[in-house]
Amino acid sequence: MKVGKTMGLSILLIKIIVLILPGITAWMLFRKLVGWSAKPNWYILCEITVFSVIIYGVYGILLKILEYTGLIDYSVVFFDTILNEETKIICVWREIFWAGLTGVPIAFLSSYVYTHKLINRLGRYLNVTRRFGDEDVWDFFHNLPEESGYEWVYIRDYKAKLVYFGCIVAYSDSEKERELLLKDVDVFTNSGGEELYKAKMLYLCRDKYDLAIEIPEID
């Protein structure tokens, strides 16, 4: 009897893992777009679960619309596959495939909401929060809109005792070292401001407290 229960739980677990493949794919695409920030395993599992529920919900709504228009006659069997032991997983591969495609625009939309801090903006507008987002100021600064004119900056390097003036091309995630890639760089001494040389491209890698970014006033 125990063997039967164990087999039933194993089959259920396999079904759940296969059925949340669209959520896993969408989550990986989302993280590829916004960055792989360090999160505990339970948090990652929650994100994948939320993506899976939203994907199958949107997929079900789209099917209902198509069914209402008479184009198709098909319904979502996601929950029936989990709850009914007799339903084999091979019966829902088509659903998993189309749900996976549905997850692509959802991942892009989620990335847009995350990058532009739309939820926090709404919260600040309603005066229910003062937070700008879950990231640190490093990510917040580098995700400012391009029209803000903050691409050209002074980078004060306390370790090398130099100052760089250039345009930021790329930056690292928050949990890593402070990596910056600059282009069209002018290099100065930090103490006297004497120009030393120019560089087409310049890569920096420092600890969190070795760099300061200053925004020049440009006419």
Average pLDDT, the chain: 79
Tokens of 64: 């209902």
What single-letter amino acid sits at 78?
F
Q: Residues 6 or more apart from 85 whose CB is under 8 A from it?
A: 8, 11, 12
Domains (ranges, CATH) in the chain? 2-123 (no CATH), 146-214 (2.30.30.100)
Residue 72's pLDDT band, with cuts at 50, 70 and 90, is low
Within a 10 A sphere around the Cβ of 172, how many other Cβ atoms? 17
Tokens of 160: 């090398």
Residue 121's pLDDT band, with cuts at 50, 70 and 90, is confident
Model confidence, pTM: 0.66
pLDDT, tens digit (0-9, with 9 covering 90-100), for 194-209 = 899 999 999 998 888 8
